Structure 1
Amino acid sequence: MKFDLHTHHYRCGHAEGEIRDYIESAISSGLIAIGISDHSPYFGSTEEQAQPLIAMGKSEFPLYVAEILQLKEEYKDQIDVLLGVESDFFPDVAEFYRAEYIKYPFDYIIGSVHQVSGVSIFNRKRWNKLTESEKVRDKELYYELIQQSARSGMFQILGHIDAMKGFYPPFSEIKTNAVDEALRVIGECKLAIEINTSGSTKDCGGWYPSDDILERALYHGVEVTFGSDAHKPSRVAEDWTEVSKRLKEIGFKDWVYFKQKQRQVVLL
């Protein structure tokens, strides 16, 4: 029973294809469910599109939801099309996001941290000239934001929880207890983390999070789900079989997806 909860499309400005293209790819790949979860607008600004080429404009958001709901009905006899969104988490404006999301019948919301101290986690230059202690500080700030997002009550899933290693693989070797503390909080809050296979498109390779984090997630009782983070239709469900096998080797018995914000358990 294959599913993929993390896909994008043209509205975000840095992905290819229509929503329909991702659904068709999912059907061709034998999925039972496909989640559409494009980047939400930046609701913390009065601008229509504060982050062009990163996230959709505000006026596009209701059109995005309406299109998915229409396609959900159209494809109901072939595949379960799920209404999702990938949401940034900014503590100071989180309530603006919460107020927008409550307007729509989301099946799930993915909470992702993409910025730390106002700088993208994927900015290759952010690590230049930092001392070792400053690198620890940035990693701990990242996981503090992840903890806050878990406690916010806004999300069912937390996205790519070690993606800061994307263009800086040594990130994984920075020693701190912050990762375990974040996993403990995620487990207590009963959120799922995704195994996100888009790491293969970055310098770090592989997927997010790393095996050692998944092992610690299992210890802390954290549930897992799958997301390709596809930005082109051909990547839908990429590495699904390999991830499923690795999770079983680590010791997971099942994983989950969400429908009407209710977890659906799928045996591995």
Structure 2
Amino acid sequence: MKFDLHTHHFRCGHADGTIRDYIEAAISHGLQVIGISDHSPYFAEEEDQPWPGITMATSDFGNYVAEVLKLKEEYKDRIEVLLGVESDFFPEHADVYRRMYDQYPFDYIIGSVHKSDGISIFNKNRWKGMKDGEKVRQKEIYYDLIRQSAQSGMFQILGHIDAMKGYFPAFSEIPTEAVDETLRVIGQCDIAIEINTSGKMKDCGGWYPSDDILERALHYGVAATFGSDSHVPSRVGDEFEEVARRLKEIGFKEWVFFRQKQRCIVPL
């Protein structure tokens, strides 16, 4: 069974194509399940769409949900379409986001940390001139946010949990126990992590998370799922088979997707 839970479309302002384009791409690539999970609006901001090139307007969120639900019904005999969203995680605004999501019938919500210590994790300049001790502190701040997101109860999946390495590959080598502590908490909270194949589009190459994190995730009983994080329809399902093979090599026996926030197990 082939699935992809992490896809975007034009509403976020930095992806191409319509929701229908991604569904059609999924069918053409042999998927049985496709999840639509565009970036959540900045619900805590007073302005409707403060950063148009990053995410959709708050006023458009209902339209997004309605379109996915309409297409879910339209395509039900050809492919299962799941309603998802990739949610930013800001601890100070968690209740605002939770109230918004509770209004809609999401199959799953991906919790992703995109800002850490007030700066984008993909900011190429944040590491320039930084001393080793501060690098450790920044990595620990990032993983503390991921840990809090796991404990929030808002999410079924945590997105790209080492994506801070995107434009700073040396991030992976910064020594700290924070990664293991975070994986332990994720396992205790019974939340899945995605293997996200969009890392190949960044300087780090490869996937999020790295193989060594996946090996430790298995040790802590963390479930895995798949997301291409596609921002163009052609990447839907990208490297699904390769990820499945690698998970089996690491020792995983199964991975999961979510329907009505309930875990569906898929043997590897």
| TM-score relative to the length of structure 2 | 1.00
Q: Secondary structure at the match of 2:213?
A: helix
| Aligned-residue CA RMSD (Å) | 0.4
Tell me, which stretches of 5 or more residues in structure 1 are unaligned?
A: none
1:28 aligns with 2:28: yes
Alignment of 1:118-267 (within 5 A): 118-267=118-267
Measured in 2, the distance between the counterparts of 1:153 and 1:50 equals 27
The alpha carbon displacement at 1:129 in A equals 1.1
Query: What amino acid does structure 2 have at the position aligned with 1:69?
Result: L
Residue 63 of structure 1 aligns with which residue?
63
List per-residue Cα deviations over 1:92-124 (Å, max 9, x = no partner). 111110010000000000000000111000000
CA positional deviation for 1:55: 0.7
- Name the aligned partner's letter for residue 23 of structure 2: I
In structure 2, give the amino acid aligned to 1:227: G
Give the distance between the partners of 1:104 and 1:50, measured in 2 at CA.
23
Percent sequence identity is: 71
- Partners of 1:65 and 1:164 in 2: how far apart? 29
Partner SS, residue 124 of structure 1: coil
What is the deviation of 1:211?
Answer: 0.1
1:74 match = 74
Measured in 1, the distance between the counterparts of 2:133 and 2:57 equals: 38
Give the alignment of 1:75-90 within 5 angstroms. Answer: 75-90=75-90
Q: What's the TM-score once normalised by structure 1's chain length?
A: 1.00
SS of residue paired to 1:203: coil
Counterpart-to-counterpart distance in 2, 1:260 and 1:51:
30
2:86 and 2:32 map into 1 onto residues whose CA distance is 21
| Equivalences, count | 268
Give the structure 2 partner of residue 40 of structure 1.
Answer: 40
Counterparts of 2:52 and 2:266, CA distance in 1:
37
Distance 1:224 1:35 in 2: 15
**Structure 1 residue 51 displacement after superposition:** 2.0
Q: How many Å separate the matches in 2 of 1:183 and 1:208? A: 14
Structure 2 gaps, min length 5: none
